[in-house]
Homo-oligomer: A and B are copies of this chain.
Amino acid sequence: MPTNKPKLSIGIDLGGTNIKFGLVTKEGRIVQRLNIPTRAVEGPKAIVARIINGLNYLLASRHCKRPPGAVGIGAAGLIDHNQGIVHFSPNLPNWRNIPLKDWLSNKIRLPILVGNDANAFVLGEYCFGAGKGKDSVFGITLGTGVGGGLIFNGQLWLGINQAAGEVGHTTINPIGPKCRCGNRGCLERYVGADYIVARTKRRLKTEKSAISNRSAPLTTEIIAFAARRGDILARSIIEETGAYIGIGLANVIALLDPAIIIIGGGVSGFGRLLLASIKKTVNERIMNFPQRKVKIVLSKLKNDAAILGASQFEKFF
């Protein structure tokens, strides 16, 4: 029996550097991709015009025999998920209260949903990745910012102010340094990518490392690369980062006791060494009892998680 339900949907990962589009099957396969530069400095109107061009390109694809069910867009920052407004985005200068959904709806005759990038990540992993089949998932995204998203009983929990999941702004040290958000000792203040780089630079002044001999600016990718080659300082930085994250995730486990915690974002490229260090700290800190299950894993979908999750926004908002 043929069904009239759309088989495809579109997911967009709107980042500060690139806008990544995917035409996604209901099984979570990306049948067509598009990757264009954000050129964030050009401001909201120009970027939205480029998103519309990108959407029209995908809609004209040979895979798009019938119109997709919906378009979902994930962006960093403070989003009104109901109205599709980007109140503020750290990656997108001059985006203040931009009615992204309305602007797109004027040109694209499909349901448009706008959400937080960390929610896109956790939904991607929940629907198609490491969280498939779990009834509760906590996703943490490690990048310049540290975000998170929660699924309970198969439902995305946005929070009363649509600000749930902000594990990056939980306090891991009450007398720690000031964070961008105004609080002290936030997890992000220790493990945001720029703070990891700054910490590494400080230690490079007194410690030997292969990282010292580089021409390019230091990045977490360079630290990851050096660590894989056995560099002691790089490995130590990653282990320290994992210990900080472990404090934050032990708190997540104490409060939420989720079936699985999934770690994504650029800094999760620190890989198994990071994961081992996180698990060590979590095990030292959580209340242990027989048969306690705690599953902590790295992202399965990596760079595609947010595209895939955004493509499923319609089912969860």
Interface residues of A (CB under 8 A from B): 78, 87-88, 135-136, 148, 150, 152-153, 155, 157-167, 169-174, 181-184, 247, 250-252, 254-259, 284-289, 291-294
Question: CA of A184 to CA of B173 in the docked complex: distance in angstroms?
Answer: 12
- With CB as the reference atom, state the residue of chain B lying closest to A97: B290
Determine the chain B residues whose CB is within 8 A of the CB of A173 once the complex forms: 173-174
Chain B CB count within 10 A is highest, among A252, A256, A288, for: A256
**Within the complex, which residue of B251, B252, B292 is in contact with A161, where a contact is CB–CB below 8 Å?**
B292
- Smallest distance from the beta carbon of A156 to chain B beta carbons, Å? 10
For this complex, 23 residue pairs linking A to B, each with C-beta atoms less than 8 Å apart, are: A88-B289, A150-B255, A152-B152, A152-B155, A153-B155, A153-B157, A159-B258, A160-B259, A161-B289, A161-B291, A161-B293, A163-B254, A163-B289, A164-B256, A164-B257, A165-B257, A166-B255, A167-B254, A169-B286, A170-B251, A171-B251, A183-B284, A183-B285
Question: CA of A266 to CA of B5 in the docked complex: distance in angstroms?
Answer: 56
Would B160 and A258 count as touching, CB distance under 8 A?
yes
Would A287 and B170 count as touching, CB distance under 8 A?
no
- Smallest distance from the beta carbon of A242 to chain B beta carbons, Å? 14
- Smallest distance from the beta carbon of A128 to chain B beta carbons, Å? 21
Determine the chain B residues whose CB is within 8 A of the CB of A285 once the complex forms: 171, 183-184
Would A172 and B170 count as touching, CB distance under 8 A?
no
- With CB as the reference atom, state the residue of chain B lying closest to A295: B160
**Within the complex, which residue of B160, B183, B292, B293 is in contact with A286, where a contact is CB–CB below 8 Å?**
B183
Would A257 and B160 count as touching, CB distance under 8 A?
yes
- Smallest distance from the beta carbon of A147 to chain B beta carbons, Å? 11
Would A160 and B136 count as touching, CB distance under 8 A?
yes
Determine the chain B residues whose CB is within 8 A of the CB of A78 once the complex forms: 289
**Within the complex, which residue of B136, B166, B287, B291 is in contact with A183, where a contact is CB–CB below 8 Å?**
B287
Apart from A163-B289, A165-B257, list 11 A-B contacts with CB within 8 A: A153-B155, A153-B157, A160-B259, A164-B255, A164-B256, A164-B257, A166-B254, A166-B255, A166-B287, A182-B288, A255-B256
Q: Closest 3 A-B residue pairs measured CB to CB?
A: A159-B257, A164-B257, A170-B251
Question: CA of A89 to CA of B174 in the docked complex: distance in angstroms?
Answer: 31
- Smallest distance from the beta carbon of A122 to chain B beta carbons, Å? 13
Question: CA of A115 to CA of B174 in the docked complex: distance in angstroms?
Answer: 33
Question: CA of A163 to CA of B286 in the docked complex: distance in angstroms?
Answer: 11
Question: CA of A161 to CA of B256 in the docked complex: distance in angstroms?
Answer: 10
Q: Taking A136-B160, A153-B155, A292-B161 as contacts, is the C-beta distance between A169 and B287 under 8 angstroms?
A: yes
Would B289 and A170 count as touching, CB distance under 8 A?
no
Determine the chain B residues whose CB is within 8 A of the CB of A148 once the complex forms: 255
